[in-house]
Amino acid sequence: MKPASLEGEIAVALTLELEWTLIACGLVALADGVLKGGEASRVLDMVNAALGPEEQDTWIDLISGREGLQARADGLELLLADASERVLRRAWSIALVDGEGSLDEARVLEQLGGRLGIERDQVMVWRKLWTSQAIETAGHVATFAALLLHRHAAAAPQLGAPLGPSERAKFLRLLAGMPLSEARRVRLHRLLDEAPGVEDLGSALLWLSAERRDEVLCELATYLRTGNDGPLGRQLFLALAARVALADDAARAYLE
Query: How buried is 207 (Cβ within 10 angstroms: 0-12 exposed, 13-18 middle, 19+ buried)?
Result: exposed
Query: Residues 165-219: pLDDT tens digits?
Result: 999 999 999 998 898 888 899 999 999 999 999 999 999 999 999 999 999 999 9
The structure's pTM equals 0.84
What residues have CB less than 8 Å from 77, skipping those under 6 apart?
A: 16
CB 107 within 8 A of CB 45: no
Higher pLDDT, 4 or 198: 198
Q: Would residue 37 be called left, alpha or beta, if left means φ above 0 and alpha means ψ between -120 and 50 degrees?
A: left
The pLDDT of 14-30, averaged and rounded, is 92
The whole-angstrom separation of Cα 83 and Cα 179 is: 24
The whole-angstrom separation of Cα 52 and Cα 34 is: 25
CB 91 within 8 A of CB 21: yes
CATH topology of domain 16-118: TerB-like (1.10.3680)
Query: Residues 25-60: pLDDT tens digits?
Result: 999 999 988 777 777 788 888 888 888 888 888 888
Closest CA to 199 of 161, 162, 231, 242: 242
pLDDT value of position 1: 37
CB 220 within 8 A of CB 204: no
